[in-house]
Amino acid sequence: MSAEQQYIDLFSQTKEMINKHSAPVLNARRDDAFTEFQRQGFPTRKDEKYKYTEIGKLFEPDFGLNLNRLNIPVNPYEVFKCDVPNMSTALYFIVNDSFYNQALPKNELPEGVIFGSLREMAEKHPELVKKYYGQLADSSQDALTAFNTTFAQDGIFFYVPRNVIVEKPIQVINILRADVDFMSNRRVLIVLEDGAQARLLMCDHAMDTVSFLSTQVIEVYAGENTVFDLYELEETHNRTTRISNLYLKQQASSTVLLNSMTLHNGITRNTTHVTLAGEKADISLCGMAIADKSQHVDNNTFVDHAVPDCNSNELFKYVLDDSSVGAFAGTVLVRPGAQHTTSQQTNRNICATREARMYTQPQLEIYADDVKCSHGATVGQLDENALFYMRTRGISEKEARLLLMFAFVNDVIETIRLDALKERLHTLVEKRFRGELAKCRGCAMCKEFD
């Protein structure tokens, strides 16, 4: 049986159960998404966008799914103790693909701000969620988005009304928890009305050593004059597969920072699609990956300059050791009439061994004549002259290599606009380069991987 067929059969047999444990707004898009998944099937390497990651094989194992929404016996507030030091956050949890609301912290969010279970909020505020859900994430254009829309039953809804500023950063911990090989499909919907400001940190952790496959679709709407930061930090283990599609639409004079950091994983595929739909919109799109053993990290980005006077800046850096594989493919499209566009795309990579592989494909498509656009990519090794200089100053070769690798990725960390998180990332990255798993301090779940 093909990977596609087992999920086609599964949905056909469990559709009623899936709908029963979700919300009508989410269910309304499910059938069309299923039709699209049947039509497209999983992407193959013949698909230009997915040529560096063999998606179909990732779905072949017999994963368990919690379609009946059985309660997972874990209280994350008891086992997870890794708030970023010195950073006061509003802390929430997703267990697999369900928003954990059995016990919530006493977070006081500004009046009108909504943060909670997507399923529950779609029932409480159906017209609001319906206005945005599935509008950016087009199932007809991506089979994995179609798959997620078919099976997702819950996730997060984050809504910030006009001119409201959420001062306290919000932190979401995505916990993978299961006794058997397991799949989760979560959905995230983020809406900032005109003039709103917010910051969100999402961390992925695995509690058990079974194989996990998680799919995630994030839709972000940034209204006029909004300011939004989204940080994603992956610290799982080498039996975890993560597939994440993020769709962002920005209106005039909005400022958005997206920073995705992979510190420990198995196989990761991140897709980011940005549409700059209002003049003077500004996007900073950053990423960092540290991989060793046979880990695999694939980032694919598309930035659409649809109107004049917008700015985009991309910076992605990889450090690959052992037989790990990295991939970066980034396209910047400047449409006709999008004059005065400024765009810079940079991908820099270090392969520490001959066995490590990096594939990079930066692209520009420009259909306007008054623009400032550039792109560049390099793949190399550590600077031997710098290593030699440091060793002549009494620094061991191991320590010199660590210092150079840390300096290499530091400018990605420096884009973070939360000082406490930036400081914590410095510590985690140093631990990672020293051969330690990148663990948050005090996380009871991570002891198993010591």
CA pair distance 222, 193, nearest whole angstrom? 7
Contacts of 411 (CB under 8 A, 6+ apart): 315, 317
Q: How confident is the model at residue 74 (pLDDT cuts 50, 70, 90)?
A: confident
Give tens-digit pLDDT for 328-371. Answer: 999 999 999 999 999 999 999 999 899 999 999 999 999 999 99
- What torsion, rounded to 10 degrees, do the Cα atoms 55, 290, 218, 258 define? -140
Give tens-digit pLDDT for 226-262. Answer: 999 999 999 999 999 999 999 999 999 999 999 999 9
Q: Among candidates 45, 40, 102, which has minimal Cα distance to 69?
A: 102
The two tokens of residue 424 are 């914590």
Q: How confident is the model at residue 79 (pLDDT cuts 50, 70, 90)?
A: low
Give tens-digit pLDDT for 285-306. Answer: 999 999 999 999 999 999 999 9
Q: How confident is the model at residue 86 (pLDDT cuts 50, 70, 90)?
A: low
pLDDT of 382 higher than 80: no
- Give this prediction's pTM: 0.94
Top pLDDT among 212 and 103 is at 212
Contacts of 10 (CB under 8 A, 6+ apart): 65
Give tens-digit pLDDT for 385-397. Answer: 777 767 777 777 7
